[in-house]
Structure 1
Amino acid sequence: MPTLPPGPSSKLWTLIRYLRDPIGCMVPLAQRYGDPFSFPGDPPMVCTGDPVGIKAIYTADPDTFAPLSADLSVFLGRRSMILLQGAEHRRLRKLMMPPFHGARVRAYGEAICRLAERHTADWQPDRQVMVYEVAQRISLDVILQAVFGVSEPERMAGLATLLLDLLNGISPLIALFPSLRRELGGLGPFAAFLRRQRLLREQLDALIAAARVAGPREDILSLLVQARDEDGQPMTDEEIRDQLILLVVAGHETTAISIAWAFYALHRPENAAALERLRAELAALGRDPEVEALDRQPYLEAVCQETLRRYPLAPAPAPRKLLRPLELMGYTLPAGVGVGVAIGVAHFREDLYPEPLRFKPERFLERKFTPFELVPFGGGARRCLGAAMAAHEMRLVLGTILRRYRLRLASLRPDPGKVRAANAGPAHGVRMIVEERLA
């Protein structure tokens, strides 16, 4: 039996397929080579979208794995939790968990709804809006207020501009090809990224210093400053700064993209029944519902879950490198090989999701899916810490805007998706026309 499962032989051709079709590129590979399948590279990577294989990865001893791409520290910082392993990772994850518990997350609900209302307050009938950009601004302001503890309008605007410039400066080529990360005398795109990064770090260092002096507050930065490990030691300034950057990179863009995909899917003509069912559910709440009541609507939650299933943010996010052999579906994978969960396969399995390309929120009212069948936020010891907050924000923003406006897509041209930094976002930003402002 071969050590590694079969897979494509050309790394370049696989990359081109991914850039052309980031959402649909994985299913044909599983159909052609079987599951699991391998990608060429140094090291090669083995992916699986089978729940049995996903369970084997997510339930393995966490010390089996190490970061596959340590060079991401260029973007995230060397103390970023996603790049740590072993005892360091466990310590930092334990310190960061309390701010993301359910009660803490729900406390930000009113602010999320208020920001959604503020960023759409000037929408008038016949106006064209780009939902992705609006969702970006909402998500960024949520992070600035709930995570950074910044509420002054001028400071929020300055930080938002700096963060957006930084994120938009991470092109797929710079992210995927370390050889292109050259400063070129200060004129290249990577040099521009480094300049913005230095400015952001200076701003974050100032926020951390202020939080240490200010004492307890309700924002996540303040909670991280107060956190202590089992030995009574706090997080260092560098550790806090790198986690703040990770929360922006992993939480801001991904949430905005998911919100934009939800608006796109709901307003496709073939999904009109889903949109009307959701509108009826929201209308039944009355004129001024409590935030918790909005957040608990079952069909709203099903719409968000179906969006995360149908439009996965990455085909195989956060791959890991094996530090010891791993048994995976009949293969003994040696140390040094990369492994990844192919969300781009798992979420399109016919046996789990009949008519997988169809947007059908009802499937989430009809049955429960295991943590190895629906994996939008990863799983195991590396599951996204901000998953509850991202899902909470998605439900509230979607519900708040749909209660206030009727919209239609500016174009019915299908959107295959586009690689934005490391995520699969809408290629055209989801342009919509405001039809009616609801009382």
Structure 2
Amino acid sequence: MSEADLPPGPPLPRAVQSALMMRHWPRFISACRRRYGSVFTVDVASMGKIVYLADPADIKTVFAGDPAVFRAGEANSVLRGVLGDSSVLLLDEARHRDRRRMMLPPFHRDAVARQSELMADIAASNVAGWPVGTEFPVAPRMAEITLEVILRTVIGSEEPERLAALRAALPPVVNMNTLAMLAMLNPDLLRRRPWRGVRRRIAEADRLIYAEIADRRADPNLAERTDVLAMLVRAGGADGAGDGRAMTDTELRDQLMTLLFAGHETTATGLSWALERLVRDPVTLARAVEAAEAGAPGDEYLDALVKEILRVRPVVFDVGRRLSAPVELAGYRLPAGVIVSPGIGLVHASEEQYPDPARFDPERMIGASLSPSTWLPFGGGGRRCLGATFAQVEMRIVLREVLRGVQLDTTGARGERQRVKHVTLVPHRGARIRVRARRPAPTAAAIQESVSQESVSRESG
């Protein structure tokens, strides 16, 4: 591959660029954007040459590109060690299309709406235990909520002892340290001493997940169940979607691990950033509390708040496609083998797309017509995150329960910086907040009114 085929980029050794990506991902890439413009190349160990794109027109070309050429599965292959070979994130072309079709029904709007009451109950129960008058990092609390949502609505676990075991076994698998992540890049390392603990943790998580799969297959009431696992077990066959073939246990395991990996910590991080921003903006916090207390009529503002936090603090900074053939893009003929990477964080921070982009302003999202190449926290094209609707609904519901349940102190402290954690960007101090007081529990009449408004909103929507 000739360097002349690629856009310019930093002349640093690969090892140095790799270290900068691991420690200072957004800052390094943003500095490259300022230095080299809207298209540039970085060189990263285990990934190779990555061509970043910040122009929405170029990003649109990638998202609309031939999936046989723009291969997202290959670009995501570093996740194979934990997600498994049949994860929808790692498939390309027809196999990806068929698997995605099978997995779509649980994430349709109506299916997600059926889970909203359970999401609210889980969030309210957790918030009721938050300390009062003491500063604490809210990120672990949000992780507890989103994990419980995954366990109850996606995996559908109900037996108390198995739920407790899953709560203990799953977080260590998805919250890996740097040493463990090396084994994901090279699964052969799992046979060696420093990584044998990682292998044991994955094995324990697999044991519990396979037990849930077996229970679901044997459940005489499978047809009535609404959890995602039950819907995936029912998928395939003559009446199913996709390629007409039901998923094997291994394939189901890989999809559940994918949904856990993609939908647990990412959503928890988005929620943590929302509270980190709100306690530093008293006006927006007051408006959000008002919207939360209004019930369904306040959803427009809370949805706008969710969209704005995912813009100003994207959980994932970019997405990738590995080229299987040369491509004319952004004024260059890019060779096969490179990864092209639409820069989510670069576009979201663009003055051209969002005036005063560093300002947290949910009002800008109310009534906004968002382009899939200028607001792209969930990626785009045929690879857009399956759970995008689920995540946005969950974030809105959890924020509503938080703001209804407690009064938050505001702070003049500096905002928390973005810290690289695996493939996500988290608040470096865990999004520390302080609860001033608990709010009175709503009356039964108020709850019934809120439920009625929610039903009317769904029917009219």
Alignment TM-score, normalising by the size of structure 2: 0.87
In 2: Cα distance, 1:384 partner to 1:132 partner: 22
Distance 2:19 2:49 in 1: 17
Q: After superposition, what is the alpha-carbon deviation per residue over 1:135-156, rounded to whole angstroms, capped at 9, x for unaligned? A: 1010001000101111233322
Q: Is the 1:418–1:425 Cα contact (8 Å) retained in structure 2? A: yes
Cα 1:184–1:148 change in 2 (3 A) is closer
Count how many residue pairs are aligned between Structure 1 and Structure 2: 426
Quote the residue 1:414 is aligned against. Answer: 415
Match of 2:37? 34
Specify the alignment match of 1:347 in structure 2.
348
Shift of the 174–233 alpha-carbon distance from structure 1 to 2, 3 Å rule, reads closer
Q: Paired residue for 2:64, among 52, 59, 72?
A: 59
Aligned equivalents of 1:181, 1:361: Cα separation in 2: 46
Q: 1:15 aligns with which of 3, 15, 18?
A: 18
Say what the alpha-carbon RMSD is for the aligned residues: 2.2
Decide whether aligned partners of structure 1 residues 399 and 87 sit closer, same or farther in structure 2, where only a CA change above 3 A counts.
same
SS of 2:333 mapped into structure 1? strand
SS at match of 2:362: coil
Which of these residues, 45, 49, 55, is aligned with residue 44 of structure 1? 49
Aligned-pair CA distance for 1:7: 0.9
Residue of structure 1 equivalent to 2:283: 273
Name the structure 2 match of 1:120.
127
Once the two structures are TM-superposed, the CA of residue 232 in structure 1 deviates from its matched residue by: 3.2
Distance 2:274 2:188 in 1: 34
Partner of 2:452: none
| Aligned residue type for 1:48 | L
Distance 2:330 2:190 in 1: 44
The aligned residue for residue 154 of structure 2 is 147
- Cα 1:183–1:232 change in 2 (3 A) is closer
1:305 aligned onto 2:310: no
C-alpha distance after superposition, 1:261-305 (max 9, x if no partner): 00000111xx2211111122223x2xxx4xxx16x6221111111
State the shift of 1:119 in Å. Answer: 0.8
Confirm or deny: 8 A CA contact 2:273 2:309 kept in the other structure.
yes
Q: Does structure 2 conserve the Cα–Cα contact (< 8 Å) formed by 1:27 and 1:345?
A: yes
Deviation track 1:223-265 (CA, whole Å, cap 9, x = no partner) reads: 0001014653211111111000000001000000000000000
SS in 2 for 1:332: strand
Structure-2 separation of matches of 1:199 and 1:127: 36
| Shift in CA distance, 172/357, structure 1 to aligned 2, threshold 3 Å | farther
Runs of 4 or more, structure 1, over 6 Å off, are: none
Q: Which residue of 1 aligns with 2:226?
A: 218
Tell me if structure 2 keeps the 8 A contact 1:47–1:340: yes
Correspondent of 1:84 among 56, 72, 91: 91
User: Using the alignment, how far apart are the partners of 2:152 and 2:184 within structure 1?
Assistant: 34
TM superposition shift of 1:176: 9.1
- What secondary structure is seen at the aligned counterpart in 2 of 1:369? coil
TM (norm. structure 1) is 0.91
Distance 1:158 1:309, change over 3 A: same
Q: What letter corresponds to residue 217 of structure 2 in structure 1? A: R
Q: Does 1:163 align with 2:189?
A: no
Q: Structure 2: which 5+ runs fail to align?
A: 441-461
Q: Which amino acid aligns with 1:265?
A: R
Which moves more between the two structures, 124-133 or 235-244?
124-133
Residues 341-350 or 326-335, more deviating: 326-335
The corresponding residue for 2:457 is none
Residue number in structure 1 paired with 2:456: none
Higher RCO (CA-CA < 8 Å; seq separation 6+): 1
Cα drift, residue 45 of structure 1: 1.3
Structure 1, residues 148-182: CA drift from partner, whole Å, max 9, x if none?
11123332221011011222234377259846973
Contact persistence 2:17–2:43 (CA under 8 A)? no
Q: Percent identical across equivalent pairs?
A: 35
Map of 2:77 onto structure 1: 70
